Amino acid sequence: MSADLMTFGYFEHVVLMIGWVVNNAIWGMLNESMVAALPFVALVLREWYQARREGEDEGNKGLLTLNRIEAGFYAMILIYGFCTAPIMSVNFQTGEYDQTHFQQCGTTVYESTGGTGAGMSAQIPLWWAAVHAVSHGATNAAVASLPCKPAYQHVAQKLDETVVKDPKLRYQLNEFQQWCFGMARTKLLRDSAGNSVPPDVTLDVDWIGSSYFLNTPGYYDSLYADKPTQGFPYDATRDAGRSSTGPGQPGYPTCKEWWESGTVGLRARLMDQVDTDTQSALSTVFGTSSAEDAALRRVLKGNPRPSRKPGYGSTFAEEGLSGWVARLANDAVGFIGMGAAAAAAAPAKAIMVDALPMVQWLTLMAMIMALPFILVFSGYSWKVTGLFTFIMFGTVFMTFWWQLAAWLDNNLTEILYGADMEGWLAGLGNSKEKSIRWFVSFSMYLVLPALWMSMLAWAGYRGGEAASTAIKGGQEEAKSAGGKGPNAAKQVAGKAKK
């Protein structure tokens, strides 16, 4: 008899198989050493001792003790047969989640696929096989029931993890920063002296792909690279009179060409650094061409900023523009304290979200390994079995609470930034809102599972206690029946004498 059970990924597959292999070895040792039989011996001794302590008025002590041992023995043999003895060969089938559903909705719905035992074989008791199947089925059904919401956080996390690995691209970004972006900002400051800059322009010109610099005459269309650049051939109209170039050699592109031109432009090359799955998710979730600019802005923020020449790379606050200073000062007020802590917690949250499932399955593996000892040492207790059943179910079901936390995180993001999701993607926004969202979402991944496990542990304890009480009630009935037998015999004998 075999049990084909689904797991939520290969890591769970391997660690649970290891858990049951060790469980089988421990159970075999307990059986061979006769330790597994000690609870039955303890039951006989306990009931004999209890009968010896009772008075003569308790009736036929032999029959009474036998009835009580019988009632306890039946309860223990059920635990022994269904919860400790591994009688089913287990075959874990690694589930695979629907990638399209994950990109669209941010939740991982699994489908069972064929699997092996990762080179190992093990057996599982009937009860725990049922608990495993019910736990994973209920978890998957609960996750699938969550309404579909765009996976904003998934896209943002992937962009944060993107690294510009191409050294030539990094060098050209550094050059572009100095000779295009820095020059354009200096010109904007000079041209706007004494005048305020619109807020939308103020935010847009804070990165090298600024649409204002690209589309406003006199900025990127009038600035050039400082040296011949590979990928941009010599153009006599543009490059005549410039040094170190000529026909058949690289030319001096304008900053607009340098950023936008086909596959050789910095924008396209930078977008190539983002993996195709993330690009697909970005298109699915946001669906606008301008979202790519917001994504690139986030990627550039996550990479080491290029070196700057004095006066070219400084911020508007350093340049002295009053409107820029006011905006940064306002953000700084919200960032002090809570904002700084949120920024520090951001990487920790991403690591925690990735690590939690590993901790979950390692915890379950440890529980499986300890199961033979716990059930034997508890005397095959129904209370302990009930508690363990609920804790195992609760541990597996924590997957749903983490998926719910991710779903709520996406909703919270949409609520706070719904009018400007691209601004959120680019890393713009009020520092106070960012801080609140970080701390609320961070706590959801910890508080919801903690409350869940507390409630499950209480329910499991109460359920096991109810089962134990019912068994004790049966033993009391046996005791009562055993006590009535001799009295009834005496009454019959007395009537016969009369």
**For the chain, what percent of residues have pLDDT higher than 90?**
28
Most confident residue range from 54-63, 146-155, 251-260 = 251-260
- Given a cut of 60, whether residue 21 has pLDDT beyond it is yes
For the ranges 104-108, 239-243, 321-325, the lowest mean pLDDT is seen at: 321-325
Instruction: Give the residue-averaged pLDDT of 480-492.
Output: 46
Most confident residue range from 172-181, 451-460, 478-487, 489-498 = 172-181
Q: What is the pLDDT of residue 431?
A: 61
User: What is the band of 120 on the pLDDT scale with cuts at 50, 70, 90?
Assistant: confident
User: What's the pTM value of the predicted model, to 2 decimals?
Assistant: 0.70
Question: 293, exposed or middle or buried, with CB in 10 Å at 0-12, 13-18, 19+?
Answer: buried
From the list 155, 120, 171, the residue with the least C-alpha distance to 283 is 155
Top pLDDT among 93 and 465 is at: 93
Average pLDDT, the chain: 77
Q: What is the pLDDT of residue 454?
A: 84
For the ranges 70-79, 222-231, 383-392, 412-421, the lowest mean pLDDT is seen at: 412-421
Instruction: Give the residue-averaged pLDDT of 448-467.
Output: 74
| Residue 358 neighbours by CB under 8 Å, 6+ apart | 11
| Residue 15 neighbours by CB under 8 Å, 6+ apart | 361, 362, 364, 365
pLDDT tens figures, 313-322: 334 333 444 4
Q: What is the pLDDT of residue 467?
A: 55
User: What is the band of 194 on the pLDDT scale with cuts at 50, 70, 90?
Assistant: low
Q: What is the pLDDT of residue 493?
A: 44
Q: State the sign of the Cα–Cα–Cα–Cα dihedral 106, 112, 113, 115.
A: positive
Retrieve residue 162's tokens. Answer: 């993107």
438, 348, 206, 304: CA torsion to nearest 10: 180
Domain boundaries, the chain: 2-151+343-493, 153-336
